[in-house]
Structure 1
Amino acid sequence: MSRDLGALLDLPVFPPITKTCYYHPNVLCMKYLMEANLPDELHYWTCKVAKKTRLDQVTVLTYDPAKRKKRIIPYDIQAVAIIVVALKLVFALDDDLEWQLAKLAQKKNQGENDITIFDFQKWHMTMRPCMDEARVKLEEEQARFSWNSERIRSYTRKAKSRIVKRKRMEANLQNQFCKLAAAAPDAGNQGPSSFLFNWEEQNTGKICFHGHSLKGITQRGNKLHYILRKKYWLNTLKKCTNKFCKHWKLYNKSQFPSSYRFVISLFAVVLGVKPSAIHYEVGLVEEKLLRAIPKKKPVKRLRKKI
């Protein structure tokens, strides 16, 4: 609908999204890696996925209303999808490889090392209560939301003046009770923040994984096609060609590994969207990634002459 409206109004091309722009996937991936308490070294993999899929190009990111076939990109969801694909490339998220790598990281971290290797199991145990706590807070905020309209709906002037006077009396009484209770009624709201979680060094109750290393985990898999051939699994085996199909809304959790479901749920809480939206975007990134990987030509075998 918005694409047709933009074409009808003959809107100009939107400002180009370059590498220094906030909506560029490399910038957004770094932001959400910090938000999800993941290692900084994963940014190398997200940049590599964005480059392979050509999702970091200005022509792909910039929206042109004249091109009706071009869809409006959900930049935040796309950046999160790139992170999920990078995690699948490194850890597979198949409920097997990530736990094996976690055991190896625990053994290496027990020795005397200058660096701390990223432990997926410890990260999972740290983020699980944080995600549940954030989800409860969001639900409480939604429950506190006032559904009463501030506009006074009345048909006569007498009724309107009566309602205004009643609201003023209620506000004055509430302020008086707050003063008697020694409470500050207008303490002021905290400044807006784009981060849901807080990983400051002063907060000793939570482990910060930003400086942890991936050394020993990504040594064998420096090439994308290696892991894709060995351990990588796809979200969907066959893409639906029907335009009216809503298969992406049917996100059946039981069909996917628990690690993948946890990562999708975590980013869904961070973005405030449904997990099916992130799952659908992950499928689109995977489709572009498979197209970018060159296929091996079949080896021709010569028949022996009898």
Structure 2
Amino acid sequence: MDEEITDGYSEPCGQCGSVFWGVSDGGQFFCKNCHNVIERTKDCDDMNAVLSNSRISSLSTRKRKQSGKGARDWMVIEGFQLIIKLQAEALVKLGVCPQFKTDVLWIFWKRYMQKTKQAYTRELANSVSCSVDLSSDSEAESSVAFSEASSHAEVASMNGASAVSGYSSDGRSSVCSGSLDAEQYLRRKERRKLMSMPRTLAFCHLALLWVKEAITLADLLRLVSKGHVPYINVHELFPEEMRFFGKDALIFRVETIPTYSKVHDEAVELAALIDLPTFPPVSQDCLLHPALLSLRYLMDANLPDELHTLVCKVIQKTAMGKDSFLTFDPTGRKPTLLCYDLQAAALIVVTMKLLFRLDDKVEWKVARKANKKGDEMKHGKKKTKRGGKMFNLRTWFMVVQPALERAREKETQAEAMRQWKSKKPIIPSSKHKTVILKRRRVVEQLQSTFQALSGSTPEQKVSSPSTFLFLWGDKNGADGPSLHHKCLDNLMIKKQKICRIVNRKYWHTFLRKCPPGRCGDHFKDLEPTLPRMYVWLLGLFSFILGVEDAQLHNAVVQVERRLLAKPGRKSTPENLNE
């Protein structure tokens, strides 16, 4: 293909003198011998329309104004609007209701632009002058650009700037970035109000909570990590007319996925910033309710279905299933956005502690008794109504532990193979453009040569999204046998027609709250003294959620405070019995 495009162009290379031209993916001519890039492109068919010598011989000190063809003005806020639109479209393709994008996320975004006055005010900073009129026409243009999935937003046209990309409205060049206001954006003092890449995920998280979708914050971050929701190198999806250059990379380029707590804190701050009203109530039929979420995590952890009944009792005793407790109200005195997934996993951990105590002693004694009863039933000495299908914690640990190690190793390998580098080269400045393009061309040729010699494919295949992390059962590719059908008869005793837990004691860490601002996280100091089985259980659910063990432990402590630390209550599991 290169020979057909470069046929007839016999100008020698200005650096090595050879006539050996190729065409890059961007349509630019480069020398295959020394990788020198010239200004000629494959779109230019008439040689008389260009200079006789198109090689870049020097950088002129005069600032040239580019033609409007192929490039247009765009602002930083327009780039973020495009990113949120792409993320919303990806979530809708994954099964989220279309109202999530058109009726909720767009309203949140418009409120943000109005409250922070980033798109509807007159501002003058350095050489960039932007004037936005809050009129019905401008609102309609923005709504169409966002809700109807147009190729680019019309924020730049609303701003009334007259320059092409990279130049200000007064004719002076803005060579530091492709956008008009990147330098001004980075120098603004009101950082709390500015948009950022983690805040785009906070927008999506708040909108998902509003429509009560089953995608929790942990699910959203996993979708981002797997590449199903655009985030890493999202600037590659920008239209060609939106030049990405220089300081734009400091705003839009990311080299890590934000943590759970980072996005959660951004969501709380964002809800207060744009003054959102009380969210729709989280009722019992909502998929974010702890009763339904805990059932999902019980299945993923290969725990018995009967355990869900006890988890629901813990939810009832702690009053953590009420609408008033679960519903997010940003207008309150101390607005609290619950971590619904963390709360559901913490309820399961507390229930496991109630049943097995998890002190590295009682759980293994119960497991030995279950093995003994199983052996007796095999020899026909005893019979039970359940046919001997009793849950054994040791058996469950031996099934789940290898699957957990394999999953961790697989995730580590996937993280090591992640391509953080952008396929499109990011040009920091005009004088480095030739060097950057030359290096990228060398790297691409080396990669293609290595791939041809080794026969390997460097790019990862994007796995299909799944609600569950593990697969339990007898099917091919399953992580292990399913234990969902096991019963808990050996852990319960029946007295006076009331089922009670065999375990009569319960241990917990210090439940008193630390003074705000004086203490931090104590889990690192506390972890060596905790029972190993409890730490392992924290690690299992922390891996399923993609959070730190300390975060889940703090959620467990919050559940225990509500269950055990109330006046007049004893720190025993007797409170769970009815």
Same fold per superposition (TM over 0.5): yes
Which has more strand, going by share of residues? 2
Match for residue 145 of structure 1 among 409, 418, 426? 418
- Could you report, residue by residue, the CA deviation over 1:38-70 in whole angstroms, capped at 9, with x for unpaired residues? 111110111111111111111111101101413
Rounded Cα–Cα distance in structure 2 between residues aligned with 1:177 and 1:185: 8
Rounded Cα–Cα distance in structure 2 between residues aligned with 1:287 and 1:294: 13
Q: Is the contact between residue 29 and residue 43 of structure 1 (CA under 8 Å) also seen in structure 2?
A: yes
Summarize the Cα distance change of 1:116–1:250 in structure 2 as closer, same or farther, 3 Å threshold.
same
Q: Is the contact between residue 451 and residue 458 of structure 2 (CA under 8 Å) also seen in structure 1?
A: no
Q: Which runs of 5+ in 1 are unaligned?
A: 297-306
Match for residue 191 of structure 1 among 464, 468, 471? 464
1:189, distance to aligned residue in structure 2 (A): 2.9
Rounded Cα–Cα distance in structure 2 between residues aligned with 1:205 and 1:240: 41
Structure 1 segment 229-268 matched on structure 2, within 5 A: 230-236=504-510, 238-250=512-524, 252-268=526-542
Summarize the Cα distance change of 1:162–1:68 in structure 2 as closer, same or farther, 3 Å threshold.
same
Rounded Cα–Cα distance in structure 1 between residues aligned with 2:445 and 2:328: 47
| 1:63 equivalent in structure 2 | 328
SS of equivalent to 1:219: strand
Summarize the Cα distance change of 1:172–1:241 in structure 2 as closer, same or farther, 3 Å threshold.
closer
- Could you report, residue by residue, the CA deviation over 1:234-289 in whole angstroms, capped at 9, with x for unpaired residues? 12254323444113443532211111111011111111111111111100100001
| 1:15 equivalent in structure 2 | 280
Rounded Cα–Cα distance in structure 1 between residues aligned with 2:309 and 2:365: 23
Summarize the Cα distance change of 1:215–1:184 in structure 2 as closer, same or farther, 3 Å threshold.
same
TM-score normalized by structure 1? 0.82
SS of equivalent to 2:374: helix
Rounded Cα–Cα distance in structure 1 between residues aligned with 2:438 and 2:467: 37
1:185, distance to aligned residue in structure 2 (A): 8.3
Q: Is the contact between residue 50 and residue 56 of structure 1 (CA under 8 Å) also seen in structure 2?
A: yes
- Could you report, residue by residue, the CA deviation over 1:116-136 in whole angstroms, capped at 9, with x for unpaired residues? 100101111222222221111
Say which is worse superposed, 97-106 or 8-17, in terms of deviation: 8-17
- Could you report, residue by residue, the CA deviation over 1:52-96 in whole angstroms, capped at 9, with x for unpaired residues? 111111111110110141322111111110000000011111112
Q: Is the contact between residue 52 and residue 292 of structure 1 (CA under 8 Å) also seen in structure 2?
A: no
Summarize the Cα distance change of 1:160–1:12 in structure 2 as closer, same or farther, 3 Å threshold.
farther
Q: Is the contact between residue 492 and residue 500 of structure 2 (CA under 8 Å) also seen in structure 1?
A: no
- Could you report, residue by residue, the CA deviation over 1:183-209 in whole angstroms, capped at 9, with x for unpaired residues? 788895331112221113224772321
Rounded Cα–Cα distance in structure 2 between residues aligned with 1:160 and 1:32: 53
Point out which structure has higher relative CO (alpha carbons under 8 A, 6+ apart). 1
Amino acid at match of 1:143: A
| 1:159 equivalent in structure 2 | 433
Rounded Cα–Cα distance in structure 2 between residues aligned with 1:75 and 1:104: 36
Q: Which structure is larger by alpha-carbon Rg, 1 or 2?
A: 2
* Superposed CA RMSD: 3.2
Amino acid at match of 1:123: W
Rounded Cα–Cα distance in structure 2 between residues aligned with 1:187 and 1:287: 45
Rounded Cα–Cα distance in structure 1 between residues aligned with 2:278 and 2:469: 33
| 2:128 equivalent in structure 1 | none
| 1:218 equivalent in structure 2 | 492
Q: Is the contact between residue 77 and residue 281 of structure 1 (CA under 8 Å) also seen in structure 2?
A: yes
Structure 1 segment 13-92 matched on structure 2, within 5 A: 13-92=278-357
1:173, distance to aligned residue in structure 2 (A): 7.5
Rounded Cα–Cα distance in structure 1 between residues aligned with 2:475 and 2:458: 30
TM-score normalized by structure 2? 0.46
| 1:93 equivalent in structure 2 | 358
Summarize the Cα distance change of 1:156–1:239 in structure 2 as closer, same or farther, 3 Å threshold.
closer
Match for residue 121 of structure 1 among 388, 394, 399? 394
Which has more helix, going by share of residues? 1
Summarize the Cα distance change of 1:161–1:72 in structure 2 as closer, same or farther, 3 Å threshold.
same
SS of equivalent to 2:557: helix
Summarize the Cα distance change of 1:173–1:14 in structure 2 as closer, same or farther, 3 Å threshold.
same
Amino acid at match of 2:559: V
| 2:562 equivalent in structure 1 | 288
| 1:272 equivalent in structure 2 | 546
Rounded Cα–Cα distance in structure 2 between residues aligned with 1:252 and 1:286: 17
Summarize the Cα distance change of 1:199–1:178 in structure 2 as closer, same or farther, 3 Å threshold.
farther
| 2:198 equivalent in structure 1 | none
Summarize the Cα distance change of 1:56–1:152 in structure 2 as closer, same or farther, 3 Å threshold.
same
Q: Is the contact between residue 298 and residue 305 of structure 2 (CA under 8 Å) also seen in structure 1?
A: yes
Summarize the Cα distance change of 1:154–1:20 in structure 2 as closer, same or farther, 3 Å threshold.
same
SS of equivalent to 1:261: helix
Q: Which runs of 5+ in 2 are unaligned?
A: 1-264, 571-578
Amino acid at match of 1:45: L
1:218, distance to aligned residue in structure 2 (A): 1.9
Say which is worse superposed, 1-10 or 88-97, in terms of deviation: 1-10
Say which is worse superposed, 133-142 or 147-156, in terms of deviation: 147-156
Q: Is the contact between residue 175 and residue 185 of structure 1 (CA under 8 Å) also seen in structure 2?
A: no
Amino acid at match of 1:79: A
Q: Is the contact between residue 108 and residue 117 of structure 1 (CA under 8 Å) also seen in structure 2?
A: no
Summarize the Cα distance change of 1:277–1:177 in structure 2 as closer, same or farther, 3 Å threshold.
closer
Rounded Cα–Cα distance in structure 2 between residues aligned with 1:263 and 1:38: 12
Summarize the Cα distance change of 1:293–1:140 in structure 2 as closer, same or farther, 3 Å threshold.
farther
Q: Is the contact between residue 154 and residue 160 of structure 1 (CA under 8 Å) also seen in structure 2?
A: no
Q: Is the contact between residue 427 and residue 436 of structure 2 (CA under 8 Å) also seen in structure 1?
A: no
Summarize the Cα distance change of 1:68–1:146 in structure 2 as closer, same or farther, 3 Å threshold.
farther
Summarize the Cα distance change of 1:176–1:36 in structure 2 as closer, same or farther, 3 Å threshold.
same
